[in-house]
Amino acid sequence: MSSGKSISFSDQSTLSSGPVEHIHHLQNIVIIGASVAGHTLTDELMHKLPETHRIILIDALDFSYWPLGSLRASVRPGWEKKIFRPFTQETVFPKDSRHRVVPGTRVVKLRKDAVVLDKPFEGSRVVPFFKAVLATGSSQASPMRVQNGASQADAESILIQMQSEIAVATRVVIIGGGPVGIEMAGEIRSQHPNTGITVIHDGPRILERFVSSAPDLNNMFDNTTLSQAADQHYVAPAANPKLSAALTKLLNDHHVEIITNERAVPSTDLPNGWDGVAGPQDGIKSIRLRSGRTVVADYVFISVGNRFNVRLVEAVDKGALISGMIRVDEFLRVRSTNIGSILEGGYYAIGDCCSTPGWKTMQGAKADGEGVAPNILAEVHNLPVRKYKRPVMHGMLLPMGPEYGRGYMTLPLIGDAHLPEFMVKKVKSGTLFDPDYFLARFNGEDKVEPFDGWGSVKPKQRPKDYVPDPVEMEKKRYIDTSLLVRALQRKYSFGDKDHVWNGKKDKTPYYQYHAA
């Protein structure tokens, strides 16, 4: 992968401050972040870019992590092996690809036409680009995200430790009744039917819109302190009230206590009072609520705290931030209130970190990755970019362990369609989208097979003459993601065999569409 002479880390200060030189004849599309949004964009572009351009996919981790399976992995032994996959040149790109994976590498500075890395790539820490895409996502405490500087072994160890701690807990209190808190309650109840579980939510009902608070995750490896939370000003969209009611009934039926319109407060003035720290407690602790009521716990899980990773932008132009997110326009291009910003013209932003309206979910990140690809290609070919809007069709499926769950889909013409439990179970509860969306991202020379045991996941070598067909890949993606829609079509008799797009029947296959 490397060209040019070897450079020691001690020599890097001169590289980062020197002139930006094109050390490769190809023009780079730099993608910062290889989770859902960044990896989706990579898959969209890799077979469509002309030979004059290549992708540079950079990620701070040297492995891939699947957050959608993280809660189950923190409760159910064996699942800690299922949410990691190899992140290498060979698993992401075909053999002899001009595109490059740069794993285990951080971008430390943004420039107008280049990014600066913490270690050399192809002989330099400075990587020039034609366009750069910020897909830096968000940070949360363990287990939802891997913490700064953690290796795969570290992350697995934390999950195994959580499994052991939760297994011996007798009273678990979950602070936050959003999707993460509700799903965690379901996972614990499924694995530990006799453990007492209480969910405390600062809203009139679970999933009701709330302002997220984010703990400072700097150098934080295991415990999260509630008092470290800082207002992010991001307000999650309101969930369908019927979903809140259905989940409340399901949790109550499984003996999970839900306390709404309350907030937990550190209570060190009480005998055996809670000090605000998450995780296992030293015995049974009393937790005071805002009303003065107290609850007890020997394990506390804090589900609030989703901080957007925008420090790179903040360091060069605070005018490019809005409500704690990277400000983007209707084309997903970075915009700033400061005239002459170095970020305008060269940078796009997608996924959790950007200001695209809607839930900060896998669906949104995937849609952004798919939606920005046509504009990158348009700029490559010197064509006008097109406005982007997230698709009308989206859903919220919340599993309660492998066996239960509730959810709904928002569909064109119909609106919200609530899904029967068997459908939620079939679509998400059992696998948490691991084979359908996590494994499907890896289209490289070394195929990553579905996990079928408790051992390590090892890449399986594809035939040497393997060449992915981009049209077939997009057809497969369409088929995989439309199974649920077709089932709903049969149930509600809409759309017949035609694709429904913005409320109109259209016989054009979905995979031929780009951002409208």
H/E element holding 56? strand 53-58
Same fold, 9-60+104-137+309-380 and 171-302: yes
Whether 325 has a pLDDT exceeding 90, the answer reads yes
Whether 13 has a pLDDT exceeding 90, the answer reads no
Residue 215 to residue 228: CA distance in whole angstroms: 5
Question: 74-92 burial by CB neighbour count: b if 16+ within 10 A, else e?
Answer: bbbeebbbbbbbbbbbbbb
Contacts within 8 Å (CB) and 24+ apart, 272-279: 274/300, 276/225, 276/226, 276/227, 277/223, 277/224, 277/225, 277/226, 278/141, 278/223, 278/224, 278/225, 278/226, 278/302, 279/165, 279/222, 279/223, 279/224
Whether 2 has a pLDDT exceeding 80, the answer reads no
Mean pLDDT computed over 42-69: 96
Residue 123 to residue 15: CA distance in whole angstroms: 10
Least confident of 181-185, 187-191, 210-214, 268-272: 210-214
Beta strands at 347-349 and 131-134: parallel, antiparallel or unpaired: parallel
Q: Tell me which range, 224-233, 392-401, 440-449, 506-515, is most confidently predicted by mean pLDDT.
A: 392-401
**Over the stretch 303-324, which tens digit does the pLDDT of each residue have?**
987 889 999 999 999 999 999 9
Mean pLDDT computed over 109-137: 97
Whether 63 has a pLDDT exceeding 90, the answer reads yes
Least confident of 182-191, 228-237, 257-266, 500-509: 500-509
Least confident of 191-195, 239-243, 509-513: 509-513
Q: Is the sign of the CA dihedral 22, 26, 32, 34 positive or negative?
A: negative
Whether 258 has a pLDDT exceeding 80, the answer reads yes
Residue 41 to residue 136: CA distance in whole angstroms: 13
Mean pLDDT computed over 292-306: 92
Q: What is the reported pLDDT for 410?
A: 84
**Over the stretch 337-384, which tens digit does the pLDDT of each residue have?**
999 999 999 999 999 999 998 888 898 999 999 999 999 999 999 999
* Superfamily, domain 9-60+104-137+309-380: FAD/NAD(P)-binding domain (3.50.50.60)
C-beta separation of 60 from 104 below 8 A: yes
Q: What is the reported pLDDT for 426?
A: 87
Residue 161 to residue 166: CA distance in whole angstroms: 9
Whether 483 has a pLDDT exceeding 80, the answer reads no
When comparing pLDDT for 128 and 16, which is higher?
128
How do the domains of the chain map onto residue ranges? 9-60+104-137+309-380, 171-302, 394-432+469-512
Residue 368 to residue 371: CA distance in whole angstroms: 5
231 alpha-carbon distance from chain centroid: 20
C-beta separation of 390 from 241 below 8 A: no
DSSP one-letter string for 253-295 = HTTEEEEES--EE--TTSTTB--SB-EEEEEEEEEEETTS-EE
C-beta separation of 177 from 200 below 8 A: yes
**Over the stretch 148-169, which tens digit does the pLDDT of each residue have?**
888 999 999 999 999 999 999 9
C-beta separation of 165 from 280 below 8 A: yes
The CATH number given to 171-302 is 3.50.50.60
Q: What is the reported pLDDT for 452?
A: 54
Whether 37 has a pLDDT exceeding 80, the answer reads yes
C-beta separation of 52 from 27 below 8 A: yes
Structure-block tokens of residue 348: 């796009």
Q: What is the reported pLDDT for 359?
A: 80
Q: What is the reported pLDDT for 427?
A: 86
The pLDDT confidence band at residue 441, using thresholds 50, 70 and 90, is confident
Least confident of 73-87, 267-281, 284-298, 416-430: 416-430
The pLDDT confidence band at residue 473, using thresholds 50, 70 and 90, is low
When comparing pLDDT for 240 and 297, which is higher?
297
Q: What is the reported pLDDT for 485?
A: 52
Q: Three-state secondary structure along 205-218?
A: CCCCCCEEEECCCC
Question: 3-14 burial by CB neighbour count: b if 16+ within 10 A, else e?
Answer: eeeebeeeebee
Q: What are phi and psi of 476, to 5 degrees?
A: -60, -40
Whether 296 has a pLDDT exceeding 90, the answer reads yes
Residue 156 to residue 146: CA distance in whole angstroms: 10
The pLDDT confidence band at residue 445, using thresholds 50, 70 and 90, is confident
**Over the stretch 371-410, which tens digit does the pLDDT of each residue have?**
999 999 999 999 999 999 888 888 889 999 999 999 988 8
- What pTM did the predictor assign? 0.81
Instruction: Return left, alpha or beta for 78; rule: phi > 0 is left, psi -120 to 50 is alpha, else beta.
Output: left
Q: Is the sign of the CA dihedral 168, 173, 179, 185 positive or negative?
A: positive
Q: What is the reported pLDDT for 225?
A: 37
